[in-house]
Amino acid sequence: GAVVSQHPSRVICKSGTSVKIECRSLDFQATTMFWYRQFPKQSLMLMATSNEGSKATYEQGVEKDKFLINHASLTLSTLTVTSAHPEDSSFYICSARTGGMDYGYTFGSGTRLTVV
């Protein structure tokens, strides 16, 4: 089946630095990628939708300058958390549309970001 590879699975970074998270579709072309954020014991909150070759569409309240999304190819989308702060510590997970079925969504395995 369709696989989305997400890296890194865990990352610890210092406050003020930037962190890049990659989501790569391994055996299909992901024209649309969704990025979610999940705080402990909470739901997945959609941050943005990225389409290959165009600017991402951010959900209301998400700082686009802080969470940079690049979807430069049909198999790779990246999320860069810039100037990270402890409050950015969270679980980040991507999801891609797969195939033509209405229920065709594949999730990455997630990235646990800790900012110290």
Partner 1 sequence: AQKITQTQPGMFVQEKEAVTLDCTYDTSDPSYGLFWYKQPSSGEMIFLIYQGSYDQQNATEGRYSLNFQKARKSANLVISASQLGDSAMYFCAMRGYSSASKIIFGSGTRLSIRP
Task: Point out which residues bind partner 1 (CB under 8 A).
Answer: 32, 34, 36, 38, 41-46, 49, 57, 91, 93, 95, 97, 102-103, 105, 107, 109-110, 112
| Nearest residue to 36 via CA among 115, 93, 97, 98 | 93
Give the nearer residue to partner 1 in terms of CB position, either 17 or 29: 29
In angstroms, the CA 112 to CA 54 distance is 27
**Least distance CB 109 / partner 1 (angstroms):** 5
| Nearest residue to 20 via CA among 76, 61, 96 | 76
**Least distance CB 60 / partner 1 (angstroms):** 11
